[in-house]
Amino acid sequence: MADPFISVAERLAPAFAAVAGGACDPVVRPSDRADGQANGALALAKKLGLQPREVAQQVLDAAGDVSDMLASTEIAGPGFINLVFSNTFIAEQLSEATHNPRLGVRASSDPHTVVVDYSAPNVAKEMHVGHLRSSVIGDALVRALMFVGHTVVRENHIGDWGTPFGMLIEHLIDMGEDNAANELGVGDLDGFYKAARRKFEESDEFKGRARARVVMLQGGDEDTLRLWRTLVSESTRYFNQVYRQLDVLLTDDDLMGESAYNPMLAPVVERLREAKLLEESDGADVVFVEGFTNRDNEPLPLIIRKGDGGYNYATSDLACVIDRVERIGARSLLYVVGAPQAQHLQMVEAVARKAGWLPEGYIMNHVSFGSVLGADRKMLKSRSGGETVKLNALLDEAVERAEISVAEKNPDMSAADRTAVATMVGIGAVKYSDLSSDRVKDYIFDWDRMLSFEGNTAPYLQYAHARICSIFRRAGIDRAAIRDVVPTLVEVQERDLALRILRFDSAVWEMIDTLGPHKLCTYLFDLATDFTSFYEHCPVLKADNDAMRDSRLALCDATARIMSEGLLLLGIRAPEQM
Ligand code: ARG
């Protein structure tokens, strides 16, 4: 069982192969003229030096009886094969999908371990909207990859090491540990960081202390480490608040910050030296990789160890590749990181490949994304106009705003229900507006649009789901019982909806293959749209007879299940009432 377009392509493939004398892709696509169109005969005819229509006919002859799947096949135009699915086939497939634990989505044919590196904010620094995007996109990918059977390891590569910790620890000491912990624990990471920075710039005495502190930190001084741990734990406490509010899967178990790789940095240098990749440049240990140049077109090195003996961000990322491949046993490494780090990641990958740490067949993929812009198309600003948007305040605002629209839509809902629903709608709206546009592009953060009950928004999809739940509630019908009904597809809207439901498989796979959650969003929006026209044209509870009513209820149930499962794969909850 699979998307019918895939099933029919698989069914026709042997016929194409027989005519071609070897493997040949039928190339089936949805079409306006029929359900689908197989275009493979055109290329094949060229290869064989025959008439395309003749080749198409040979293919159909070779395919034999396909009536269990197709109601009609017709050769059209310059040799297309138009395909119309039989209603019985669609109905049977739908019934099978609703009894399948993955609702008809194919399992991976190559399940393996995938590391998803996402979120990754920096300790004692405000999480910015880029970290929000990474968290939301990464989490959706994690869920989809797990759904099809991969073993997924989440890693939160927080920035918890490096020279800034000297000044941060000294500032912590100046403030008094308790005061500092309070400020950090409530999420005023930015104020803390900026104050430390200011002192560092203004006072030589402070600068001196900060530098000495870095040395102590790197030297493993117990008391310094304890202070460093305070900074880390107060910051992660704040990150966790945001994660819970945002409803992503990340927990402390997923923390694997830069500091975790400290013991592996010296071996990275050793292994690079053994592989004869290490060179010296201006006193630093570097690796040159082909294809990377600076603005003046000079070869650009990846700096592994600076002249002062300190290691770099790149060094810990190399250790990280080794760890993921050799310890975790991952075959795919996904980095959900903003576009500005593209070159860094490309260089890390190039060096890892050259050193043999990423063997052939192992994937390192930068899941890049654009910026979040305000309505003025500039970088998003906070409510108070400040430059950094506090994520927890942003998420609170989403829920507050959703609460107002939920109250308008359903004034009779109890206060407790309203808060629960508003949380799902508000957070869902923020996540969906991020996920529904192509991730590589910038997107505009627009409260009114994302919270609208119309258009390609979370509330629209959630509402379609809630409406179906309410049909069952009103009629007092058990949804599980209706699942055994094989629908009868009479009206075109019933048939379109059924066929759409069956395309969930391809939608999930397209999202995975392109690492693009917006593919699934577009599908869910189409599903909601098809459901709306079905519901307008086909009375359900007032259907002409019981059989018709049950058949339509089965379509409603399947739609709602795909909707809530699809939203869940995006990390969004679907309330049962709105
Ligand atoms: N902490 C970094 C930042 O905020 C992102 C880390 C991404 N992951 C990695 N393995 N480099 O920009």
Q: Is 213 exposed, middle or buried (0-12, 13-18, 19+ CB in 10 A)?
A: buried
Rounded to 10 deg, the angle between the 415-435 and 517-537 helix axes is: 120
For ligand 1, atom 2, which residue shows the shortest CA distance?
A: 120
Grouping H, G, I as helix, E, B as strand and the rest as coil, residue 142 is helix
Q: Count of H helices and E strands in the chain?
A: 22, 13
Distance 488 CA to ligand 1 centre (A): 53
CA separation, residue 557 to residues 4, 209, 286 (Å): 20, 66, 60
Q: Are strands 284-293 and 279-281 parallel, antiparallel or unpaired?
A: antiparallel
Is residue 270 in some structural domain?
no
So what's the pLDDT on residue 383?
A: 65
User: Residue 79 is part of a domain; what is its CATH number?
Assistant: 3.30.1360.70
Distance 177 CA to ligand 1 centre (A): 27
For 364, which DSSP code?
E
Task: Spell out which residues line ligand 1, taking CB within 6 angstroms.
Answer: 117, 120-122, 157, 159, 317, 320, 335, 337
Q: 115-153, pLDDT tens digit by residue?
A: 999 999 999 888 888 899 999 999 999 999 999 999 999
Give distance in angstroms: CA of 339 to centre of ligand 1.
Answer: 11
**SS3 label, residue 576:** coil
- Helices marked H in 219-264: 222-246
Structural domain ending residue among the three candidates 26, 50, 85? 85
Residue of 341, 346, 351 to mutate, ligand 1, most atoms within 8 A of C-beta: 341
Total domains in the fold of the chain: 2
Assess if residue 492 is contained within a domain: no
Rg of the chain (C-alpha set): 28
Residue ranges in the chain modelled with pLDDT below 70: 382-387
- Asked if residue 23 is part of any domain, the answer here is yes
| CA 434 to ligand 1 center in whole angstroms | 19
392 Cα to the center of ligand 1, angstroms: 20
Q: Which of 127, 135, 337, 351 is the pocket-test mutation for ligand 1 (most atoms within 8 Å of CB)? A: 337
CA 478 to chain centre: 34
The CA-atom distances, in angstroms, between 508 and each of 72, 144, 206, 549 are 28, 7, 54, 30
Compute the distance between CA of residue 141 and CA of residue 366 in angstroms, rounded to an integer: 13
For 452, residues 6+ apart whose C-beta sits below 8 A from its C-beta are: 459, 460
Whole-angstrom Cα distance, residue 160 to residue 358? 25
Domain span holding position 77: 4-85
- SS3 string, 470-490, reads HHHHHHCCCHHHHCCCCCCCC
Mark which of 50, 85, 120 sits at the end of a domain: 85
The answer to the question of residue 42 being in a domain is yes
Point out the domain boundary residue: 85, 120, 150.
Answer: 85
Atom of ligand 1 at shortest range from CA of 313: 11
Q: How far is the CA of 157 from the centre of ligand 1 (A)?
A: 6
Q: Is residue 138 a part of any domain in this protein?
A: no
Digit-coded pLDDT (tens) for 309-327: 889 999 999 999 999 999 9
Three-class SS of residue 36?
strand
Q: Would 179 be classed as within a structural domain?
A: yes
68 within a domain of the structure (yes/no): yes
Question: Could you write out the three-class secondary structure of 316-327?
Answer: HHHHHHHHHHHH
Query: For the CA atoms of 527, 528, 534, 540, what is the dihedral angle to 10 degrees?
Result: 120
3-state DSSP call for residue 287? strand
Q: Does residue 13 sit within a domain?
A: yes
This prediction's pTM: 0.95
Instruction: Write the pLDDT tens digit of every residue in 517-572.
Output: 999 999 999 999 999 999 999 999 999 999 999 999 999 999 999 999 999 999 99
pLDDT for the residue numbered 385: 63
SS3 213: helix
DSSP state of 105: P
